[in-house]
Amino acid sequence: MQVELRKSFSGKIVLKNTGFTFDKTSKLRPAWIFVENLPRNIMFLSTRVDGKIHHYRVYLSTAIPLFLPVNYTKAEMKKFYGKFAIIYDKEVEKRNTKAAEFLFDNIKILKGTKILDLGAGTGVSSVPIAKKGYENITLLDFSKEMLSKARQKNELRNCRFICQDISKLKFNNRFDVIFSVFSFASNSYFNPDEMPLLWKKVVGSLKQGGILMLVGYDFQPPESLVRKVRSGSYEIIKGHKASWYIGKKKT
């Protein structure tokens, strides 16, 4: 596969002194492209792959020069997160840790509670929860590379790990608490059309009266399934605000 970077876009074209690596496991185009020495305000790339033009964009943050196809498939997204696992902790650990701590400080949760971390990544959001003394934690993520990193964390040695797409949930009435940090933002793995069915699966995985907690969400669970306890917006770390939500499954 021959890959050429043509242009980068953010008001100016900047491609000087850059080097890049890319996914070589896909047939038609790379699932991801990692570009070194780009200014942090670069959002889009135009590339030529085996003679055809493909456009890529930053997916998570302009601070992370890891690009995904604009019209990505879910298979490409999975490979993207496989690559992202290498630098995930460095980029999000402080933010996600603070976000998870904030959620659990805003509601009283008994220590024996069964907890599910949805879209757990490398487990950075579950680490502070385990440190608080919660032992019955399940981490679910669709990336085996992410969960491999999570399994290496000593704080999570007693946790359960499940490699699965959130949309495939089949945990009927199993958990007391489900929480998720940045898995339901508008630039996440899901699109709006999927959310009604997805919320049914997520809420269906809660026991009656179970608690659902979210940080960094754009898709809010429907009131027909969850009664909102409280919500708001706060500055997780300096310069980074996020919405948060705590709700209770309706009986």
From 162, 164, 80, 94, select the one nearest 124 (Cα to Cα).
94
pLDDT digits (tens, 9 = 90+) for 221-250: 999 999 999 999 988 877 778 899 999 999
pLDDT value of residue 16? 61
CATH fold of the domain at 88-249 = Rossmann fold (3.40.50)
pLDDT digits (tens, 9 = 90+) for 11-50: 455 556 578 899 999 999 999 999 887 777 788 889 999 9
User: What span, in angstroms and rounded, lies between the C-alpha atoms of 115 and 162?
Assistant: 13
pLDDT value of residue 12? 53
Place of tokens 């399934």: 225
User: What span, in angstroms and rounded, lies between the C-alpha atoms of 84 and 121?
Assistant: 10
Listing DSSP states for 51-74 in one string gives TEEEEEEESS-TTS-EEEETT--H
pLDDT digits (tens, 9 = 90+) for 106-160: 898 998 899 999 999 999 999 999 999 998 999 999 999 999 999 999 999 999 9
Task: Specify the higher pLDDT residue, 1 or 212.
Answer: 212
pLDDT classification of 7: cutoffs 50, 70, 90: confident
pLDDT value of residue 173? 85
Instruction: Count helices and strands (H / E) in the chain.
Output: 5, 13
Residues β-bridged to residue 235: 241
pLDDT value of residue 187? 61
pLDDT value of residue 14? 53
pLDDT value of residue 111? 86
User: What span, in angstroms and rounded, lies between the C-alpha atoms of 89 and 131?
Assistant: 17
pLDDT value of residue 174? 92
Q: How far is CA 119 from CA 15, 98, 129, 199, 212, in A?
A: 34, 16, 15, 14, 14
Q: Is the pLDDT of residue 10 over 70?
A: no
β-sheet with 206-215: strand ranges across: 160-163, 137-141, 115-118, 175-181, 206-215, 240-249, 226-237
User: What span, in angstroms and rounded, lies between the C-alpha atoms of 164 and 144?
Assistant: 9
Domain map (residue ranges) of the chain? 3-84, 88-249
pLDDT value of residue 5? 80
pLDDT digits (tens, 9 = 90+) for 164-222: 988 888 888 899 999 999 888 766 677 788 888 999 999 999 999 999 999 988 888 99
- Say which residues have a Cβ less than 8 Å from residue 90's Cβ, sequence separation at least 6: none
